[in-house]
């Protein structure tokens, strides 16, 4: 995923948008009655159908599971991770609406990009942009599938829980951790990637989120320990401050994480508050209740200033600076808060109130066919397709479908655990097979004869990889 460093370094051509295309206020817009479960489901169906039209991965010649991209391939604007977020949205879509139209596509996509046999969402194709957060967005799709009892994969395939565990295990492994800044994950997985030195909130927030959810689902204390350690680290380096502002990150080698990049993006808050609510639901500890309440109040104040969500650092009054990634962030916030309302019921009324006003605005950003805009405060479609439209579509769908938490609470259950009906197949050793970042195994005596050949092959591969990664530099977004 891109991070704030992206914005600083990116050559953004800022355009003043022309807003006069469509007028949602004169009855031409997208219609839904947010007080009617039936209407919400029907509207969600239209939005889900529109969103899937941006996915080409199951067509001939395309790559299964991903949205058109990545940018440097010339195939489209989306990085690999964003499809992981899209499948999360479809898992939740099934959970909220029970419409199974996309179950097979979702399952096929997640299982393919899990990249068997390692199954930890680290396909070698995407190495050059593979951050811990990118990997985790796919791992969180699998975790969500376990939590909402999404139909299991075929018996000969790994279970949803196993895929989430594989993701977590690779991130908890010693090779992802060092002493810089007293701990914390680097943003990128490969030290050869640009942005490796950045130790940021999203990478650590996603790891915290997965740990918290695995702890709650399995009851295994190792996950809870990792989650708490990661949370405490985020507080320690002051990426989360005493007023519950959530900042973007800092550099390790360069300044030991003491110079904090202060932009506040909603995706960081979404994974943190969702993870904190999981820890609260799991432990009932005051520490996590305080975290949920503190993050929630600050988040509503900051991201929903008039009851309508705005992506504050880049969605400015007179200028749109949000990139393709950031166009999808509102969806994560709406989905995360809806789940927080279920995990920490005392937050329900406060959350539902703000999600509703925000969703009413989101709906006004859509055209009758379900094409949606990014600027929900406009009261009409913004015509901003250049940096999407899949992110805008995910966000609007997330906003509309999660309205069902209030209208029909008995039907939309909170995420389950192994003790409350969850049956997904796990595997504590998942993710331990070799992957693209592992050194070659040590040579034994009888291997030595072939060692020269192997060295040549490895060297060739390394040089190839460096050239290939080098080609990626132009992005300037890392």
Ligand X SMILES: *[C@@H]1O[C@H](CO)[C@@H](O)[C@H](O)[C@H]1NC(C)=O
- List residues near ligand X by CB under 6 A: 63, 113, 115, 123, 125, 169, 181-182, 220, 222, 236-237, 256-257, 428
Please report how close the Cβ of residue 204 comes to ligand X at its closest, in angstroms: 13
Please report how close the Cβ of residue 147 comes to ligand X at its closest, in angstroms: 18
Q: How far is CA 11 from CA 167, 262, 478, in A?
A: 33, 20, 12
Of the pair 28, 253, the CB lying nearest ligand X is at 253
Q: What is the 3-state secondary structure (H, E, C) of 455-476?
A: HHHHHHHHHHHHHHHHHHHHHC
Please report how close the Cβ of residue 428 comes to ligand X at its closest, in angstroms: 4
Please report how close the Cβ of residue 255 comes to ligand X at its closest, in angstroms: 9
Of the pair 115, 384, the CB lying nearest ligand X is at 115
In contact, 115 and 123? CB cutoff 8 Å: yes
Please report how close the Cβ of residue 430 comes to ligand X at its closest, in angstroms: 9
> Burial level of 152, CB count in 10 A (0-12/13-18/19+)?
middle
Of the pair 182, 455, the CB lying nearest ligand X is at 182
Of the pair 202, 237, the CB lying nearest ligand X is at 237
Please report how close the Cβ of residue 115 comes to ligand X at its closest, in angstroms: 5
Please report how close the Cβ of residue 205 comes to ligand X at its closest, in angstroms: 17
**108 backbone dihedrals φ, ψ, rounded to 5°:** -60, -40
Q: Alpha-carbon distance 304 to 311, whole Å? A: 9
Of the pair 63, 189, the CB lying nearest ligand X is at 63
Of the pair 237, 291, the CB lying nearest ligand X is at 237
Please report how close the Cβ of residue 444 comes to ligand X at its closest, in angstroms: 28
Q: Alpha-carbon distance 347 to 254, whole Å? A: 40
CA neighbor of 302 nearest in space, from 349, 245, 260, 340:
245
Please report how close the Cβ of residue 196 comes to ligand X at its closest, in angstroms: 18
Q: How far is CA 47 from CA 42, 74, 98, 331, 393, in A?
A: 9, 27, 15, 13, 7
Q: For residue 134, what are the contacts with CB-CB under 8 A and spacing of at least 6?
A: 1, 79, 80, 81, 84, 126
Of the pair 181, 361, the CB lying nearest ligand X is at 181
- Rg of the chain, C-alpha, whole Å: 22
Of the pair 237, 295, the CB lying nearest ligand X is at 237
Q: Alpha-carbon distance 325 to 349, whole Å? A: 30
Q: For residue 402, what are the contacts with CB-CB under 8 A and spacing of at least 6?
A: 92, 96, 334, 335, 337, 338, 355, 359
Residue spans of beta strands (DSSP E) within 361-478: none
Q: How far is CA 217 from CA 35, 151, 273, 379, 387, in A?
A: 32, 17, 17, 40, 36
In contact, 102 and 91? CB cutoff 8 Å: no
Element at 159 (helix H, strand E): none
Please report how close the Cβ of residue 64 comes to ligand X at its closest, in angstroms: 6
Please report how close the Cβ of residue 256 comes to ligand X at its closest, in angstroms: 4
Of the pair 251, 381, the CB lying nearest ligand X is at 251
Of the pair 164, 300, the CB lying nearest ligand X is at 164
CA neighbor of 160 nearest in space, from 169, 151, 168:
151
Q: How far is CA 33 from CA 365, 404, 407, in A?
A: 15, 11, 11
> Burial level of 99, CB count in 10 A (0-12/13-18/19+)?
middle
Of the pair 9, 256, the CB lying nearest ligand X is at 256
């Amino acid at each position: 995923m891109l991070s704030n460093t992206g914005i600083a370094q990116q050559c953004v051509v800022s355009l003043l948008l022309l807003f006069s295309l469509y007028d949602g206020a004169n009855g031409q817009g997208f219609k839904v009655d947010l007080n009617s479960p039936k209407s919400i489901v029907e509207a969600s169906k239209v939005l889900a159908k529109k969103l899937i039209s941006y996915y080409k991965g199951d067509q001939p010649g395309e790559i299964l599971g991903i949205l058109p991209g990545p940018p440097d391939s010339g195939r489209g604007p989306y990085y690999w991770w964003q499809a992981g977020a899209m499948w999360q949205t479809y898992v939740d879509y099934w959970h909220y609406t029970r419409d199974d139209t996309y179950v097979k596509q979702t399952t096929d996509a997640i299982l393919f990009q899990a990249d068997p046999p390692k199954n930890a969402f680290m396909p070698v194709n995407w190495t050059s942009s593979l951050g811990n957060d990118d990997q985790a967005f796919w791992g969180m799709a699998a975790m969500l599938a376990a939590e909402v009892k999404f139909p299991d994969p075929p018996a000969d395939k790994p279970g949803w829980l196993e895929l989430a565990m594989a993701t977590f295990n690779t991130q908890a492994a010693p090779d992802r951790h060092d002493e810089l800044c007293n701990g914390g994950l680097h943003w990128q997985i490969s030290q050869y990637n640009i942005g490796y030195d950045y130790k940021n909130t999203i990478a650590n927030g996603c790891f915290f989120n997965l740990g918290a959810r695995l702890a709650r689902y399995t009851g295994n204390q190792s996950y809870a320990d990792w989650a708490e350690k990661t949370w405490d680290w985020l507080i320690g380096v002051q990426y989360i401050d005493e007023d519950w502002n959530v900042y973007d990150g800092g550099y390790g080698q360069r300044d030991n994480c003491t110079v904090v990049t202060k932009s506040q993006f909603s995706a960081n808050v979404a994974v943190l508050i969702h993870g904190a609510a999981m820890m609260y639901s799991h432990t009932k500890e005051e520490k996590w209740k305080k975290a949920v309440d503190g993050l929630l109040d600050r988040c509503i104040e900051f991201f929903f200033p008039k009851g309508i969500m705005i992506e504050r650092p880049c969605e400015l009054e007179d200028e749109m600076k949000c990139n393709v990634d950031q166009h999808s962030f509102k969806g994560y916030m709406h989905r995360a808060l809806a789940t927080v309302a279920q995990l920490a019921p005392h937050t329900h009324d406060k959350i539902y109130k703000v999600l509703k006003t925000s969703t009413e605005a989101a709906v006004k950003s859509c055209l009758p066919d379900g094409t949606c805009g990014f600027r929900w405060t406009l009261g009409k479609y913004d015509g901003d397709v250049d940096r999407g439209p899949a992110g805008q579509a995910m966000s609007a769908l997330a906003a509309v479908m999660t309205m069902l938490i209030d209208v029909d609470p008995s039907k939309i259950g909170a995420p389950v655990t192994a003790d409350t009906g969850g049956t997904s197949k796990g595997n504590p050793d998942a993710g331990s097979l070799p992957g693209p970042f592992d050194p070659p195994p040590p040579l034994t005596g009888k291997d030595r004869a072939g060692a020269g050949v192997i060295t040549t092959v490895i060297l060739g591969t390394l040089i190839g990889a460096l050239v290939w990664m080098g080609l990626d530099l132009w992005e300037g977004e890392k």
